[in-house]
Amino acid sequence: MKLVTAIIKPFKLDDVRAALTEIGVPHMSVTEIQGYGRQKSHAALYRGPEYDIKFQLKLKIELAVRDELVDKAIEAIIQAAHTGQVGDGKIFVSPLEQAIRIRTGETGTDAVR
């Protein structure tokens, strides 16, 4: 099993969720995060004065995926989250040693189905 973590633009969430559901990954955790990289900061107005926003709002998606679905999940995220603009995001893949479904006590790949 692998833990796939993707950082994406917020408006791409529905597209990514639909793409993952279509390939058989019907579950994910989503967290609102802020960060910066090549996208840099931008100016914004709030009640008149202009100020500099240094961090961009992003979403972090985490999926526990069976080994046989990892490549499909990565490709689905890339296709659904791609805009061609700076700040499209990143995908990280880590080994997942163990998963346990609390309700039933199932472990391993049975816990992430």
What domain range includes position 32?
Answer: 2-112
Bigger pLDDT: 109 or 95? 95
CATH number at residue 25: 3.30.70.120
Residues 43-55 have pLDDT tens digits of 665 666 766 667 7
β-pairing, 42-45 vs 2-8, is unpaired
pTM, 2 dp = 0.83
Query: How many folded domains does the chain comprise?
Result: 1
Q: What is the pLDDT of residue 51?
A: 62
HSE at residue 113, side-chain half, CA atoms within 13 A, is 7
Strand bridging mode 42-45 / 50-53: antiparallel
Residue 55's pLDDT is 76
Band of pLDDT at residue 60, cut at 50, 70 and 90: very high
Mean pLDDT (whole number) for 12-17: 97
